[in-house]
Amino acid sequence: MTYRYATPDEAEQAFYSAFERSDLATMMGIWSEADYAECIHPMSKRIQGYAAIQQGWDEIFQNTPSIRFQIRGQRQITRTNLAIHIVNEHILVNDGQRESEMLSTNIYEETAQGWRMILHHATPMTRPRAHTTDAPTPPRLH
């Protein structure tokens, strides 16, 4: 059974809750079945389409230790039927034994079935390095 998310915030809360619980059924109830849905996990390739996204989450859930998310620095842009959430994910792994920071973009689309995710793109956050005057600044590639 698929839940109807009345708002993008509700869908996002369900997304992170399903991720923490490794709950594939709930996770896939959040995703749009549109062929343009995409998921890009950190340091990974693009996954396109509902079936491929489901397979990707299944693999992650089978190999992920206990994790908890703290969402920080959220920015939201919402238009008629599209919502973009840019978030800093502070991830606690194995009850805080390890920590990770990701920058993620989550895009939701309002459909006849409620708000559904059409994009999740996560990338590792970099920490600022101490800048020394004798070291050249590397060129920015992107």
Any domain includes 1: no
Any domain includes 135: no
Any domain includes 77: yes
pLDDT of residue 39: 97
| Segments forming the whole domain that contains residue 119 | 8-124
Any domain includes 15: yes
Any domain includes 3: no
CATH number of the CATH domain containing 103: 3.10.450.50
Q: Summarize pLDDT for 88-141 with one digit per residue, the tens.
A: 999 988 877 888 899 999 999 999 999 999 999 999 987 655 555 555 555 544
User: How many residues comprise the chain?
Assistant: 142
Any domain includes 92: yes
Q: Summarize pLDDT for 33-53 with one digit per residue, the tens.
A: 999 999 999 999 999 999 999
Task: Report the domain count for the chain.
Answer: 1
